[in-house]
């Protein structure tokens, strides 16, 4: 199996985001960057498949040289190859990201292309379906289970009120949802091997970004809580507030 996993570098989930002086970007000082957590589910599943059937896993990411730290984290999990598509910055527009990834994926003759179901920063959740359209491949998003049988596959998706089982032919594109697996820890041996692996740099002709950030703003501060009394004596006033002010009754 020849598998590609498309990953993105994102701020750590515990990072306190600060808006930069231009009010259009974030202040990157002191930010810890990580592999998008949903992409780790994708990496793990790809590795499990090649461990079972044989093959290789190639990590592909779009951005400047600063994202190579996260690419090497993916290599430390056990991926075999890595490609970085050179751009001045990580694209915000999913059309640009999809176009860049597609330009490389077309050359790879991949049996399966994995992505995380969404990135935790921009949260567009669009690249999987866009790649499917560009590459003319079947697309199964949000999978929590995957079985491979020759050139056919069966995936399980959680939907409202139940599960959905989908059968499809390879090659195909899938996106990993939480619950698909438990990503492995990076071993010391894997970390040392990742330092020696080559990251190929490729160029791509990219479309102009159509999504433009005009302004970033912090969420409004929550109002301070109110203590209206104690015990059963406070119930009538609480009910009145919930009915007349909060409008929830």
For 68-89, the pLDDT digits (tens) are 999 999 999 999 999 999 999 9
Q: 230 in helix, strand or coil?
A: coil
Alpha helices in 78-196 (DSSP H): 94-108, 127-135, 188-196
Instruction: State mean pLDDT over 59-69.
Output: 96
Does some domain include residue 225?
Answer: no
Do the beta carbons of residue 45 and residue 117 sit within 8 Å? no
Determine the pLDDT at residue 249.
Answer: 73
Task: Round to whole Å and give the CA distance between 87 and 206.
Answer: 9
Write out pLDDT tens, residues 148-175.
999 999 999 988 888 999 999 999 999 9
Alpha helices in 78-187 (DSSP H): 94-108, 127-135
Place of tokens 């330009």: 103
Q: Half-sphere exposure of residue 57, counting CA atoms within 13 Å on the CB side?
A: 26
Determine the pLDDT at residue 17.
Answer: 86
Does some domain include residue 248?
Answer: no
Determine the pLDDT at residue 57.
Answer: 97
Residue ranges making up the domain that contains 21: 2-202
Write out pLDDT tens, residues 194-241.
999 999 999 988 898 888 888 999 888 887 888 888 888 888 888 888
Between helix 127-135 and helix 94-108 the angle, nearest 10°, is 50
Does some domain include residue 232?
Answer: no
Does some domain include residue 228?
Answer: no
Does some domain include residue 237?
Answer: no
Determine the pLDDT at residue 164.
Answer: 95
Counted domains in the chain: 1
| pLDDT over threshold 90, residue 66 | yes
Note the pTM of the prediction, 2 decimals.
0.86
Write out pLDDT tens, residues 93-129.
999 999 999 999 999 899 999 999 999 998 889 999 9
Task: Round to whole Å and give the CA distance between 82 and 58.
Answer: 5
């Amino acid at each position: 199996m020849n598998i590609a996993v498309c990953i993105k570098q994102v701020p750590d989930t515990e990072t306190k985001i600060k808006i930069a002086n231009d009010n259009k970007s974030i202040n990157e000082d002191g930010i810890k960057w990580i592999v998008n957590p949903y992409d780790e589910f994708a990496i793990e599943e790809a590795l499990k498949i090649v461990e079972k059937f044989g093959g290789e896993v190639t990590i592909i990411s779009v951005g400047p040289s600063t994202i190579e730290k996260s690419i090497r984290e993916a290599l430390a999990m056990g991926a075999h190859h890595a490609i970085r598509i050179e751009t001045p910055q990580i694209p915000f527009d999913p059309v640009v990201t999809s176009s860049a990834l597609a330009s490389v994926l077309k050359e790879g003759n991949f049996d399966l292309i994995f992505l995380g179901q969404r990135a935790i920063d921009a949260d567009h959740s669009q690249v999987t379906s866009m790649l499917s359209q560009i590459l003319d491949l079947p697309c199964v998003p949000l999978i929590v289970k995957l079985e491979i049988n020759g050139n056919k596959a069966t995936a399980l998706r959680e939907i409202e009120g139940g599960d959905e089982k989908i059968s499809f032919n390879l090659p195909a594109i899938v996106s990993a949802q939480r619950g698909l697996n438990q990503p492995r820890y990076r071993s010391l041996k894997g970390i040392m091997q990742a330092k020696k692996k080559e990251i190929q740099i490729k160029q791509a002709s990219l479309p102009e970004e159509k999504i433009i950030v005009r302004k970033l703003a912090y969420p409004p501060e929550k109002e301070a809580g109110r203590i209206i009394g104690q015990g059963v004596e406070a119930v009538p006033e609480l009910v009145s507030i919930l009915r007349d002010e909060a409008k929830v009754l």
